[in-house]
């Protein structure tokens, strides 16, 4: 079964969008972002420039970059969010996806382990860890 390149969720064979995160499903390396996502990213970027302390806008900007497969930019913003909010489990999990896509598996594993430590009940986090370690279950 194919996996979403953004959040790592399993996809139906004929899926056009991920049911977990809403990402558009396209060819590997192709931008999954629609014009709407790019417009949102521009709005979030403006908000972050005007209010750099707004971690919610910065996190949303990071997600928009992930949807657009701009892993490095997304990671930069997630690191700022985590500097301000170190117990934000979802930010750690998304950072792990960015690191994995950037070819940094050790950093990805550290980030997902921290996310699991912070929120051990979240199934998506364990799914990401399984993908990083190559385990099916």
Q: Which CATH architecture has domain 35-133?
A: Alpha Horseshoe (1.25)
Contact 94, 62 (CB under 8 A): yes
pLDDT of the chain along its 137 residues, tens only? 566 666 666 777 777 766 666 666 664 444 455 778 888 888 999 999 999 999 999 999 999 999 888 899 999 999 999 999 999 999 999 999 999 999 999 999 999 999 999 999 999 999 999 989 886 55
| CA pair distance 126, 132, nearest whole angstrom | 10
pLDDT at position 31 is 45
> What pTM value is reported for the model?
0.77
**How many residues in total does the chain contain?**
137
pLDDT at position 20 is 62
Map tokens 């701009």 to a residue. Answer: 70
Q: Is 125 exposed, middle or buried (0-12, 13-18, 19+ CB in 10 A)?
A: buried
Q: Where are the domains of the chain?
A: 35-133
Tokens of 99: 């690191």
């Amino acid at each position: 079964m194919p996996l979403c390149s953004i959040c790592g969720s399993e996809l139906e064979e004929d899926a056009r969008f991920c049911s977990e995160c809403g990402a558009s499903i396209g060819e590997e390396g192709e931008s999954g972002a629609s014009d709407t996502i790019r417009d949102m990213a521009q709005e979030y970027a403006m908000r972050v420039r005007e209010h750099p302390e707004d971690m919610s806008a910065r996190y949303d900007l990071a997600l928009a970059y992930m949807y657009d497969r701009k892993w490095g930019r997304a990671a930069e913003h997630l690191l700022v969010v985590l500097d301000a909010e170190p117990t934000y489990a979802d930010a750690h999990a998304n950072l792990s996806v960015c690191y994995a896509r950037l070819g940094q598996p050790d950093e990805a594993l550290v980030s997902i382990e921290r996310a699991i430590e912070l929120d051990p009940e979240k199934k998506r986090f364990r799914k990401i860890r399984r993908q990083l370690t190559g385990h099916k279950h």
